[in-house]
Amino acid sequence: MKQSVCIGIDMGGTNTAFGFVTKDGNVVAEGNISTTGHHNIDEYIKRLTLAIKEQWGSINQEYQITAIGVGAPSGNYRTRSIEESANLPWQGVIPFCDILEEIFGIPTFITNDANAATLGEQIYGGAKGMQDFVMVTLGTGLGSGYVANGRLIYGHNGLAGELGHTTAIKDGRECGCGKKGCLETYCSATGVKRTAIELMATTNTKSELRDIPYNKLTSKDVAIAANNGDKLAQQVFQITGEILGEALANTVAITGPEAIFLMGGLTKAGDLLFNPLRKSFNKSVMFLFKDCVNILPSAIDGNVAILGAAALAWSEIKESNNG
Amino acid sequence: MKQSVCIGIDMGGTNTAFGFVTKDGNVVAEGNISTTGHHNIDEYIKRLTLAIKEQWGSINQEYQITAIGVGAPSGNYRTRSIEESANLPWQGVIPFCDILEEIFGIPTFITNDANAATLGEQIYGGAKGMQDFVMVTLGTGLGSGYVANGRLIYGHNGLAGELGHTTAIKDGRECGCGKKGCLETYCSATGVKRTAIELMATTNTKSELRDIPYNKLTSKDVAIAANNGDKLAQQVFQITGEILGEALANTVAITGPEAIFLMGGLTKAGDLLFNPLRKSFNKSVMFLFKDCVNILPSAIDGNVAILGAAALAWSEIKESNNG
């Protein structure tokens, strides 16, 4: 009998990567195409289909494809569509699952990238066996996914998990979402950069970062400088960790998770981020949850996004088999 | 065949009320005893058992008892115990479910009062058929319960849903939990009183409330004054609604509910509270959730707490029958 695999598709603003993933999380074949540079969505889908079928052919003897999972910015689990994404080259509502099901003839599921990462952690990562946990992705923005009673919270409109757009600082920084003071304007790659710039304006602390123009400065520069002993850069991570710790303390009081996992570029800063974060969390969290919640880096290495998208497919198949 | 009923027990700091509740929410018999005034927990349980058996006898011909549900301050669903409650006359960890199961020989379940109210709303109230909603109880404190994917979120340690102890105002009012600025220090009966007192200190606004000493002032006095046109009292509700609206906007971004229900004494203030609350919520909520979430008063009249406790029993039986 052929072994089952699910296809995980990670649609990013620049690249679309996909892989054929076994239930155990082995990627037996993979490929990718550019997300941009197509005349329209139909052309993109044609290219993607071609690339997938090519890889499929290479493993066809050994594996059968059971389902497809897609992680995409603004991917909505409930409507099965990509909705008005600000980070993709096409607009409007795209019924992506229906289109792929028509082409491949197998069940297809979609959700946003942070939710896919959450399922990846649950099925293949550090959250195996956990019924209640939170995933926070620290990339350009701040994404999050919540699992309660063993199941991801999609919410009524399919768009739950927007921790990045809860208010961290009243009347604080302008956010791309139209609000002010959103958590992701402080705790994300962009947030780290903005904090560094703000400290350049408000303090006289010497820093190697003062030679880098705004448009060139990245959170990685800040992390490197901090590791080199740059006081201003270190203060940036101190502030970032403090604000994130307070936000996580609030979110813990609501959903009472066993653990919070962090992933994304910013977590590579390691103790620079985790030390002030854990300290601030412990100071802010309600006594009922003290010493109950682990704050951990994601346990997944390798292509998290593909694994996460495949995890969506695997978890949906399991649910439908359970009735 | 006899009709099934569950016993709902609402254990309050002063009184313990109980009722025999059909699946449709009819209370076919009820009774109550004092929570206080017993030498110890054993004596209290003896009295409660006696009172329940007395009522049981009166309906025994027609009904059979299927299960018991208990709503109690610090009732922990996972440990099945009452844990170190500040609002009950006994200390320590009391394995309340085990004790009642031993006595009555039927399955017994416990949770805290806000969670019981949430289940009551789900099974008998305005949240019937909803998969994702939030319940906020505005009493002496602020309690809350979250339902996602159709199931109450108990959290890993059984104590999720502490919205009242998320930080509303950084370094704000001292809270009984040891933190500062907790939501319930602003948005609760006690919070309303504190805001009134604060406005007396910080403004020169004339008010009939200035004749009432701190220890006598209640949120009801503030509501009556506001309805009489008292400007200071009206401002109190304005501030209360604004802070609660911001907090609910944050919580909506996390769990994406279809509706938020409010119950408890403070909601009797009606538009005084709901108008500024809805306005603030709409201003603060992330665009993805705009016009998606109804903020409503609880649809349950009658003995909410008994119904809620019985709802716990009914929902647990249903779950165990579903496997």
Give the ranges where chain A is alpha helix by DSSP (H): 41-59, 96-104, 113-124, 189-202, 219-227, 231-255, 271-284, 304-321
Over the stretch A111-129, which tens digit does the pLDDT of each residue have? 998 999 999 999 999 999 9
Closest to B151 (Cβ–Cβ): which among A149, A166, A286?
A: A149
Count CB pairs under 8 A between chains A and B: 146
Q: Which residues contact A21 (CB under 8 A, 6 or more apart)?
A: A5, A6, A7, A8, A27, A28, A306, A307, A310, A314
- The tokens for B131 are 């998969």
Over the stretch B255-309, which tens digit does the pLDDT of each residue have? 999 999 999 889 999 999 999 999 999 999 999 999 999 999 999 877 788 999 9
Closest to A288 (Cβ–Cβ): which among B159, B170, B256?
A: B159
If you average pLDDT over every residue of chain B, what do you get?
A: 94
Backbone φ and ψ for B308, nearest 5 degrees, come out as -65, -45
By a Cβ cutoff of 8 Å, what residues of chain A touch chain B?
130-132, 144, 146, 148-149, 151, 153-163, 165-167, 170, 177-179, 246, 249-251, 253-258, 284, 286-289, 292-293
- At B323 the pLDDT is 46
Percent of chain A whose pLDDT exceeds 90: 85
Stretch A136-151: mean pLDDT: 94
Lowest mean pLDDT among A52-56, A137-141, B188-192, B200-204: A137-141
Nearest-Cα distance to chain A for B105, in Å, is 28
Q: Do B249 and B255 contact (CB within 8 A), yes or no? A: no
pLDDT(A251) > 90: yes
On chain B, the residues whose CB falls within 8 A of the CB of A178 are 287
Q: State the Cα angle at B293 between B292 and B298, rounded to 5°.
A: 150
Q: How confident is the model at residue A84 (pLDDT cuts 50, 70, 90)?
A: confident
- At A168 the pLDDT is 97
Q: B132 and A156 in contact by Cβ < 8 A?
A: yes
Over the stretch B161-177, which tens digit does the pLDDT of each residue have? 999 999 999 999 999 89
Q: How confident is the model at residue A242 (pLDDT cuts 50, 70, 90)?
A: very high
Q: What is the dihedral of CA B190, B191, B196, B198, to 10 degrees?
A: 120
Closest to B153 (Cβ–Cβ): which among A163, A178, A255?
A: A255
Cα(A230)–Cα(B247) distance, integer angstroms: 37
User: Residue A180 carries which DSSP code?
Assistant: B
Q: If you search the block for the tokens 């100071």, which residue do you land on?
A: A283
Stretch B184-209: mean pLDDT: 97
Which position has the higher pLDDT, B170 or B86?
B170
On chain A, the residues whose CB falls within 8 A of the CB of B166 are 249-250, 253-254
Nearest-Cα distance to chain B for A242, in Å, is 13
- At A39 the pLDDT is 86
Q: If you search the block for the tokens 């076994």, which residue do you land on?
A: A22
On chain B, the residues whose CB falls within 8 A of the CB of A248 are none
pLDDT(B199) > 50: yes
Cα(B71)–Cα(A5) distance, integer angstroms: 46
Stretch B122-138: mean pLDDT: 95
pTM of the model: 0.92
Q: State the Cα angle at B142 between B139 and B146, rounded to 5°.
A: 120
Nearest residue on chain A to B83, alpha-carbon basis: A288
Q: B156 and A288 in contact by Cβ < 8 A?
A: no
- CB-hemisphere CA count at 13 Å for B47? 17
Residue type for position A122: Q
By a Cβ cutoff of 8 Å, what residues of chain B touch chain A?
130-132, 144, 146, 148-149, 151, 153-163, 165-167, 170, 177-179, 246, 249-251, 253-258, 284, 286-289, 292-293
Stretch A283-293: mean pLDDT: 93
Nearest-Cα distance to chain B for A264, in Å, is 20
Q: B179 and A256 in contact by Cβ < 8 A?
A: no
Q: B132 and A153 in contact by Cβ < 8 A?
A: yes
Over the stretch A48-75, which tens digit does the pLDDT of each residue have? 999 999 999 999 899 999 999 999 988 9
Which contiguous run of DSSP H or E holds residue A81? Answer: strand A81-83
pLDDT(A87) > 80: no
Q: B179 and A254 in contact by Cβ < 8 A?
A: no
Q: If you search the block for the tokens 């904090």, which residue do you land on?
A: A195
Closest to B258 (Cβ–Cβ): which among A156, A289, A293?
A: A156
Lowest mean pLDDT among B7-16, B78-87, B222-231, B246-255: B78-87
Nearest residue on chain A to B168, alpha-carbon basis: A250
Q: B286 and A146 in contact by Cβ < 8 A?
A: no
Considering Cα of A32, then A21, then A96, then B252, what sign does the dihedral take?
A: negative
- The tokens for B26 are 């009819």
Nearest residue on chain B to A160, alpha-carbon basis: B256
- At A195 the pLDDT is 98
Instruction: Convert B295-311 into a string of H (helix), E (strand) and C (coil).
Output: EEECCCCCCHHHHHHHH
Cα(A108)–Cα(A125) distance, integer angstroms: 23
- The tokens for A118 are 């959450």
Q: If you search the block for the tokens 């030390």, which residue do you land on?
A: A275
Give the other-Cβ count within 10 Å of A311's Cβ.
31
- At A322 the pLDDT is 61
Residue type for position B93: V
Q: Do A248 and A282 contact (CB within 8 A), yes or no? A: no
pLDDT(A101) > 90: yes
Give the ranges where B60-112 is alpha helix by DSSP (H): 96-104
- At B322 the pLDDT is 62
User: Residue B127 carries which DSSP code?
Assistant: T
Q: How confident is the model at residue A323 (pLDDT cuts 50, 70, 90)?
A: very low
Quote ipTM for the complex.
0.91
Stretch B247-262: mean pLDDT: 97
Q: Which residues contact A72 (CB under 8 A, 6 or more apart)?
A: A9, A11, A82, A85, A88, A96, A110, A112, A113
If you average pLDDT over every residue of chain A, what do you get?
A: 94
Q: Do A295 and A248 contact (CB within 8 A), yes or no? A: yes
Q: How confident is the model at residue A192 (pLDDT cuts 50, 70, 90)?
A: very high
Nearest-Cα distance to chain B for A263, in Å, is 18
Q: Do B154 and B174 contact (CB within 8 A), yes or no? A: no
Closest to B251 (Cβ–Cβ): which among A132, A179, A254?
A: A254
- Bridge-based pairing state of the strands A63-71 and A75-76: unpaired
Q: B256 and A178 in contact by Cβ < 8 A?
A: no
